């Protein structure tokens, strides 16, 4: 569920930010127009100050694309298709200086002279630049990979993220292939510098990385380069095609050996010297770094202690609701056991009873598609504006699945007709329970990530810079809120293709106690993250403490929990964004319902939440309070 998600290509943020390829959605979204020449757009300038602000937005958008040419290509700007990012420290210093200069230029614009739209843009740009500058203090380019992201995860996905409609697209892609060797060598040098400074990820987050890299290297790809994941665009081209031959040579002579070098470096040099400690508070940056990651991901000033307490409160509330659902289930021991003993027995029943699991991955994928189809038909009850970009469901690649989360989302691109993709993990089917499928589908597809990201992509009359905002607390908070929206569509008989098992008293997409327990399990998952993330990184918890806490408070499988805890260790602070963002959206909804009374319309409320794209939570709150006041006046 990531959105999990995407760092290395937006190098200044390294392990802190999120880039389109590495973690498709932990909280990142990169959008654009499919064009070989850049187009940056904005509402017309109303004043000289507006014009200066628009020029800064143009500059910043151009900088982002030059700095991260892979994300530029994914967003549809094909001018940089032949390039890979420059991860060198010198390049990082240049980009930070660039951000400082733009921040100073922005400071000299009097915001009182700006139109309301450009005043909002100025606020957002100032925030982005400030966080970008602060990020560089932690030197994240020295720790550019772990089991979640890095060149061993990102580069093999590139072929799936691009469209190839012209010969020039193939030629540029080959040039990129030819640059992979140098790119990986620069990353290795950065990691060696990190070792010298004592900056490494926790060793436990690196266990899978040598095998991840070796999966794309070795003699088999030297001898059969057409089998490599990065050769995929050339499959099906004519026999004897010269471009295909060049691609095979680039893979055999450059790409595959580079991945082998990376695997050897990781296995023999890097992993053995990586730090043993798992908590961010025990890293070079210590608690100050962890506090910064919380601020970055949640877009709030909440402390680790405050977030921990919010998590404990939410866990207690959700646990009580879970016990009520267990009492309504057909579980044989529901009347003979009480309290923690009943909860443990019920969750063990869920983890071990074959009725809750598929035996074949195609059945799992088909069920996801059926849920998505049913929910799509209900969206007009919840929104007045829907995206035009389609989406689909597909399986996660084998090389990624064992250490990956349950699912993630890839954004589409409207202008090319490229759909978004809900990518489902079919590895270890005995850890993919049926009762979790509805909230997962709603989170990753619609009304979650796909709907929100596609609408952001399709925003009109805003500067294109705005469509690239990627604040995790908003993106993941919305997707968690979207899971609850499944309760608000028609009762079981009104849901298209609803299975006959729908029981009285269960609403919409959640049609029996097990569905509802799955929904609560997913909400509990995000509440536990507040406790576990802060426990690991601020309170000195061990990995086993975190695993035991999650096992004791949810129906999640042990395999799922272990992968999740390793993710929290690898990516401090990110997991806290989901629940913090969702709580803010629910707080705003409760305020709207209270103040608007009978005039409250869930459709226009949801539209308003989505209208500005993925903004920081303080901006969302201010904009929504103004919207509520406007609606109260009959607006």
The string of DSSP codes covering 143-194 is S--SSSSSHHHHGGGHHHH----SHHHHHHHHHHHHHHHHHHHHHHHHHHHH
Q: Output helix, strand, coil percentages for the chain, rounded to the nearest 5.
A: 65, 5, 30
pLDDT at 45: 67
Can you tell me the distance from the alpha carbon of 447 to that of 469, in angstroms, rounded to the nearest whole number?
19
Mean pLDDT, all residues of the chain: 90
Give CA separation, 18 vs 24, 189, 494, 588, 610, in Å. 8, 22, 39, 26, 20
Query: pLDDT digits over 602-631, tens only?
Result: 999 999 999 999 999 999 999 999 999 999
Give CA separation, 11 vs 180, 275, 334, 595, 597, in Å. 16, 22, 52, 44, 47
Strand-strand pairing, 407-410 and 420-424: antiparallel
Residue pair 311/534 in contact (Cβ under 8 Å)? The answer is: yes
Can you tell me the distance from the alpha carbon of 21 to that of 7, in angstroms, rounded to the nearest whole number?
8
pLDDT bracket for residue 413 (50, 70, 90)? confident
pLDDT bracket for residue 635 (50, 70, 90)? low
* Lowest-confidence pick of 27-41, 80-94, 162-176: 27-41
Domain positions in the chain are 11-278
Asked if residue 482 has pLDDT above 50, the reply is: yes
514-520 average pLDDT score = 96
Give CA separation, 96 vs 69, 99, 199, in Å. 17, 5, 20
- Structure-block tokens of residue 258: 């580079």
Asked if residue 476 has pLDDT above 80, the reply is: yes
pLDDT at 44: 67
pLDDT at 43: 60
160-177 average pLDDT score = 95
pLDDT at 503: 54
Can you tell me the distance from the alpha carbon of 429 to that of 54, in angstroms, rounded to the nearest whole number?
50
Cis peptide before 447 (omega within 30 of 0): yes
330-353 average pLDDT score = 95
555-575 average pLDDT score = 92
Can you tell me the distance from the alpha carbon of 152 to that of 207, in angstroms, rounded to the nearest whole number?
13
pLDDT at 499: 35
Query: pLDDT digits over 192-241, tens only?
Result: 999 999 999 999 999 999 999 999 999 999 999 999 999 999 999 998 99
- As to burial, measured by CB atoms within 10 angstroms (0-12 exposed, 13-18 middle, 19+ buried), residue 470 is buried
pLDDT at 34: 40
329-357 average pLDDT score = 95
pLDDT at 25: 46
Radius of gyration (Cα) for the chain, nearest Å?
A: 24
Percent residues over pLDDT 70 in the chain: 90
Asked if residue 507 has pLDDT above 80, the reply is: no
Query: pLDDT digits over 528-543, tens only?
Result: 999 999 999 999 999 9
Can you tell me the distance from the alpha carbon of 484 to that of 443, in angstroms, rounded to the nearest whole number?
9
């Amino acid at each position: 569920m990531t959105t999990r998600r995407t760092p290395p290509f937006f190098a200044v943020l390294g392990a802190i930010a999120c880039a389109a390829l590495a973690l498709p959605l932990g909280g990142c979204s990169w959008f654009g127009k499919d064009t070989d020449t850049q187009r940056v757009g904005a509402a017309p300038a109303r004043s000289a100050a507006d014009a200066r602000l628009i020029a800064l937005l143009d500059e910043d958008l151009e900088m982002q694309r030059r700095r991260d040419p892979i994300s530029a290509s994914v967003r549809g700007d094909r001018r940089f298709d032949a390039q890979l990012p420059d991860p060198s420290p010198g390049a990082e210093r240049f980009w930070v200086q660039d951000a400082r200069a733009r921040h100073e230029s922005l400071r000299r614009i009097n915001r009182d002279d700006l139109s309301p739209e450009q005043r909002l843009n100025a606020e957002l740009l100032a925030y982005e630049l400030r966080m970008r500058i602060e990020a560089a203090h932690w030197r994240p380019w020295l720790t550019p990979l772990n089991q979640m992201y890095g060149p061993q995860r990102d580069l093999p996905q590139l072929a799936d993220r691009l469209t190839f409609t012209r010969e020039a697209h193939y030629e540029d892609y080959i040039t990129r292939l030819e640059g992979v060797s140098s790119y990986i060598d620069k990353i290795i040098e950065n990691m060696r510098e990190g070792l010298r400074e004592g900056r490494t990820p926790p060793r436990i987050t690196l266990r899978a990385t040598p095998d991840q890299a070796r999966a794309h290297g070795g003699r088999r790809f030297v001898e059969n380069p057409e089998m490599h994941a990065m050769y995929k665009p050339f499959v099906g081209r004519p026999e004897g095609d010269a471009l295909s031959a060049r691609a095979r040579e680039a893979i055999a002579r450059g790409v595959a050996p580079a991945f082998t070098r990376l695997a050897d470096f990781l296995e023999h040099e890097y992993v053995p010297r990586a730090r043993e400690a798992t908590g961010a508070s025990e890293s070079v940056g210590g608690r100050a770094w962890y506090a910064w990651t919380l601020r970055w991901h949640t877009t709030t000033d909440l402390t680790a202690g405050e977030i921990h307490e919010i998590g404990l409160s939410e866990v207690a509330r959700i646990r009580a609701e879970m016990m009520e659902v267990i009492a309504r289930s057909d579980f044989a021991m529901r009347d003979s056991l009480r309290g923690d003993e009943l909860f443990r027995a019920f969750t063990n029943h869920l983890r071990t009873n074959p009725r809750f699991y598929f035996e074949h991955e195609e059945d799992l994928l088909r069920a996801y598609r059926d849920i998505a189809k049913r929910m799509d038909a209900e969206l007009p009850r919840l929104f007045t504006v829907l995206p035009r970009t389609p989406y689909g469901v597909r399986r996660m690649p084998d090389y990624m699945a064992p250490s990956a989360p349950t699912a993630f989302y890839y954004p589409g691109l409207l202008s090319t007709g490229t759909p978004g993709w809900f990518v489902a993990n079919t590895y270890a089917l005995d850890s993919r329970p049926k009762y979790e499928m509805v909230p997962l589908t709603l989170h990753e597809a619609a009304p979650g990530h796909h709907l929100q990201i596609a609408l952001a992509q399709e925003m009109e009359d805003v500067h294109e810079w705005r469509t690239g905002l990627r604040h995790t607390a908003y993106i993941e908070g919305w997707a968690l809120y979207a899971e609850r929206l499944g309760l608000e569509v028609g009762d079981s008989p009104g849901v298209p293709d609803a299975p006959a098992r729908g029981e009285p008293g269960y609403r919409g997409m959640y049609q029996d106690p097990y569905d509802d327990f799955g929904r609560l399990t997913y909400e509990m998952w995000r509440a536990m993250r507040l406790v576990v993330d802060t426990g690991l990184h601020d309170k000195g918890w061990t990995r086993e403490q975190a695993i035991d806490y999650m096992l004791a408070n949810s129906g999640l499988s042990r395999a799922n929990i272990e992968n999740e805890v390793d993710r929290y260790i690898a990516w401090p602070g990110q997991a806290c964004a989901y629940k913090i963002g969702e709580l803010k959206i629910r707080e705003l909804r409760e305020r709207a319902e209270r103040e608007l009374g009978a005039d409250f319309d869930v459709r226009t409320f949801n539209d308003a939440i989505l209208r500005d794209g993925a903004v920081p939570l303080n901006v969302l709150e201010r904009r929504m309070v103004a919207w509520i006041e406007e609606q109260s006046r009959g607006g």
